[in-house]
Structure 1
Amino acid sequence: MTRMKVIQEGPLTEDLISVHEIIGYVLVTCKELDMDKYHGEHLATQTVSQIMKISTKQAEAAYYNASELSKKKGWGVGELLKWNKAKSHMNSPVSEAVLRKIAEDDRLDNHVISEIQAAGYLSLAALELNFLSGQLTPLEMEFNYQLRVLDPNEALAIGLQFLGLELEEN
């Protein structure tokens, strides 16, 4: 089945996923889009930052108004200049201090949000990092696809490994 067919047949839902899983899904999404490794790492950590500071209602609104977000982003030379500057800041790994701060935040251990909210947070994080408006739709679509095809336990393991944490055996 093609990616588009999977996305069409499996729209984002209110199903809950953990923050650590979301990190894994974001990293795999960026890898599948052939983004620079560090861009994906920065996007994953920025997504967590958005989760911790923006309400779920705002994230849902961002998802449902994604086309409006793209329009607000702007077009042209200014957008390219901001993206080039952002890329230069993302050309190295996320600092160990940031990863440690996320890993040590006990609030994230049991925090869950819906797939729809996760996509909204992802879009808001991309905007915060000055991703180009044309990158938002493919990013959201690939994220949706990964939610359908990547096993949640694998996403969780990837997210935890990125943070330097271990998967607890039950």
Structure 2
Amino acid sequence: MVAIDPDEPTEEEHKRRSITKLRYMQFREGGSSSAQLGFRIEAAKMPGGSLQKNFKKVRSWEDVSATMREFFGADVKRVRQAILNRLIKMRDAVEHSEFFAAHEVVGSSLLLMYDRDQVGVWAIDFAKSTRIEVGRRLSHRDTWTPGNNEDGYLMGIDNLIQIVEDLNAED
């Protein structure tokens, strides 16, 4: 946290020289697109082969759109349409899934990959998913507040779909 913003820790956190994991996660989410869009870009191997991991300043809708535009590269229409189709199918599956309705999904990722011949999107990293109380159902679109278990999973997919649709409309 201090490396990113030395003024962010409270006086008490400076004295203790530590912060809680919750505090760090909230700080990290607030400084990325996660809080606004329900997802953030962690890494991307761009056309030409360069792996990029520094997306800390990619926060806004416009920042994410510009990064996605660069990620799609020259084979834009085929790649974007295939990714869009897969995201729509994934959203439908999540909306109708009993597993998702009954589980908080923390730390999961969507892996988007393409090459000259294939395009794919996969949901990965479900190790931190936890079952919620029996009888409760999550929307995965509501804003997280302590104790509500909402994770924004569908909000993130919804926004990613909209960004790809917006990019398609530019052509």
TM-score, structure 1 as length reference: 0.29
More strand by share: 2
Higher helix share: 1
Task: Report which structure shows greater RCO (CA 8 Å, sep ≥6).
Answer: 1
What's the TM-score once normalised by structure 2's chain length? 0.29
